[in-house]
Amino acid sequence: MTTSLRKNVLSLLAATIAFLPVHAFAGKDNDTLVAAFQAKLPSLDRYHSPGREGFLLGLLAYDALVYRDPNTFELKPLLATAWRQVDDKTWEFDLRQGVKFHNGDQMTAEDVAYSLMYAADPENKVFNRMTGGWIERVDILDPYKIRVVGRDVAPLALEYIIQLPVVPKKYRESVGIQAFSEKPVGTGPFMVAERSGNDVVFKRNEDYFEGGGKSKPAIGTFIYRAIPDVNTQVAELISGGIDWAYYIPSDQAEKLKRMPMVDVINAETFRIGFLTLDAAGLSDPASPLKDERVRKAIAYSMDREAMAKTLVGGASKPISSACTPSQFGCFADVTQYPYDVEKAKALMAEAGYANGFDIDIYGYRSRPVAEAIIGYLNAIGVRANLHWLQYSAVIQARRDHKTPIVIDDFGSAGVNDVGAILPFFFAESPDDQSRDPVVTQAVKEAGTIADQDKRKALYETALKQIADKAYWAPLFSMPVNYVMSKGVDVPVPADENVEFWRASWK
């Protein structure tokens, strides 16, 4: 027994030594950029990969018809060289010729029609119902010209089109969805080379076409590595195990700024934070929130500047309107509620709540922000009882009319138009807690017309009303911290859609 034990220990030692030289470094020497993400990609088929990581996958390995510049939000040609609106419901696209999929097949109108119709069918349960749900049919006019016909007027058509990747019909149908999700083929600047453990390895597409908004990558290999714990990501950044990470919390980012080996950049996203208030009294017909003065008092009680500066940090700015500032139609010149505790208290007294009241508040994202909000509410006598749940549970509670106040945030699913946020939270949607006829009418009408000037005017009406009646307490923008090693330059976008093909070694 002892001899066999000794043998086993010796062989274990031998195995350990045999493994010693294995240590893959990220970096310039092997032309490999390693980026860490908190979430794994559930599927390599963009149509079945939700969330912001899915969005990145869509940009890396696939192309859409149209490309949106991540800093100017200008729409540029990609797989389509030109497009025009034929009527309110119909868009026509001229397709780029000579574009090849990663397997060598030519991209044609057949592939585009197949891809868009795949997204349109609810049975396929693609990553986001909104992006394809508006499409009724795709007509192929010739091998390089198509028409996309919407079910109704779709003012956000192009914002959705930029999210819909073109996949090869023949290949995808022949191998099936499951096999495609493991060995996907697109036209994008990177090709999926391998998936092992936590890594997805992307190689440069040497045949990537020129003339579109995207370009052939400067870096040969890109590795998407899932590291769920942000502290581990930070340790890897310091030790040089990875080159890039984002969504690094402010406190960690502050410490990293002092490190010689990394750069920290804070940049805006579409995400904004706010409170939704049950102004319609859905959760309780006798809710104090039905009183406009109480809602205004809550709006006055929030020190947005302090929260943006100290809790969110970086480039975070206070916001006063119910939309992301960069979005089309985001009218910001609305009634303001600057931090004023005395005014808030006076409004509470006027409404008959000089002694305050107890209320339930729901949250899911940032505990420190929630604690601050509860503190601000407490200062004017609103004693908030916090329910801390998962995102989906909070949303369901609101839809079940159980939530007086929700500490919420929204990223508009990457759509740069208030048409993505207002119909979700107003216009008698399940998440509409105000049920205001003026807002409802304006938002609904804006969703059914194509005239951009008219839409803008309607959204202005809605946003003014939302602010006048204090249906929301908009709080701040939610930028994120990007951390990258000093040896690499990865351009930072304003919409989280990092373009790794533009990354280069210094």
Which single residue is written with the structure tokens 């399940």?
430
Residues in region 400-419 near another protein by CB under 8 A: 410-413
Whichever of 215 and 232 has its CB closer to another protein, that residue is: 232
Residues in region 331-390 near another protein by CB under 8 A: 389-390
9 binds another protein (CB under 8 A): yes
Q: Report whether 188 contacts 203 (CB < 8 A).
A: no
Whichever of 75 and 389 has its CB closer to another protein, that residue is: 389
Whichever of 172 and 469 has its CB closer to another protein, that residue is: 172
270 binds another protein (CB under 8 A): no
Point out which residues pair with 489 in neighbouring strands: 504
Which single residue is written with the structure tokens 């780029």?
96
> Collapsing DSSP states into helix, strand and coil, what is residue 76?
strand
Whichever of 68 and 469 has its CB closer to another protein, that residue is: 68
Which single residue is written with the structure tokens 């908190």?
38
Residues in region 95-134 near another protein by CB under 8 A: 122, 125, 127-130, 133
- Say which amino acid occupies 222: F
Q: Report whether 425 contacts 431 (CB < 8 A).
A: yes
Q: Report whether 95 contacts 144 (CB < 8 A).
A: yes
Residue window 49-78: x/- pattern of binding to another protein, with contact defined by CB under 8 A: -xx---------------------------
Residues in region 431-460 near another protein by CB under 8 A: 431
Q: Which residues contact 258 (CB under 8 A, 6 or more apart)?
A: none
221 binds another protein (CB under 8 A): no
Tell which one of 102, 169, 214, 225 touches another protein (CB under 8 A): 225
Whichever of 130 and 457 has its CB closer to another protein, that residue is: 130
Whichever of 428 and 468 has its CB closer to another protein, that residue is: 428
Tell which one of 124, 239, 310, 385 touches another protein (CB under 8 A): 239
- Give CA–CA dist 294/272, Å, rounded: 23
Point out which residues pair with 275 in neighbouring strands: 407, 473
Q: Which stretch binds another protein (CB under 8 A): 12-20, 161-169, 440-448, 462-470?
A: 12-20
- Give CA–CA dist 432/443, Å, rounded: 12
Task: Name the minimum Å distance from CB 6 to another protein.
Answer: 11
Task: Name the minimum Å distance from CB 43 to another protein.
Answer: 6
Whichever of 70 and 419 has its CB closer to another protein, that residue is: 419
Task: Name the minimum Å distance from CB 36 to another protein.
Answer: 8
- Give CA–CA dist 349/355, Å, rounded: 8
Compute the Cα dihedral for 38, 245, 499, 85 and give only its sign.
positive
258 binds another protein (CB under 8 A): no
Task: Name the minimum Å distance from CB 63 to another protein.
Answer: 22
Tell which one of 28, 40, 216, 290 touches another protein (CB under 8 A): 40
> Which residues of 186-328 form beta strands (DSSP E)?
190-196, 199-204, 221-226, 244-246, 262-267, 272-277
First to last CA, the chain: 58
- Give CA–CA dist 493/214, Å, rounded: 14
Q: Report whether 68 contacts 163 (CB < 8 A).
A: no
Give helix 250-257 / helix 230-239 axis angle, nearest 10°: 10
Tell which one of 10, 12, 261, 332 touches another protein (CB under 8 A): 12
235 binds another protein (CB under 8 A): yes
> Collapsing DSSP states into helix, strand and coil, what is residue 83?
strand
261 binds another protein (CB under 8 A): no
Binding residues vs another protein (CB under 8 A): 1-2, 9, 12, 15-16, 19-20, 22-23, 39-40, 42-43, 48, 50-51, 122, 125, 127-130, 133, 177-178, 181, 196-199, 225-229, 231-232, 235-236, 238-239, 241, 389-393, 395-396, 399, 410-413, 420, 424, 429-431
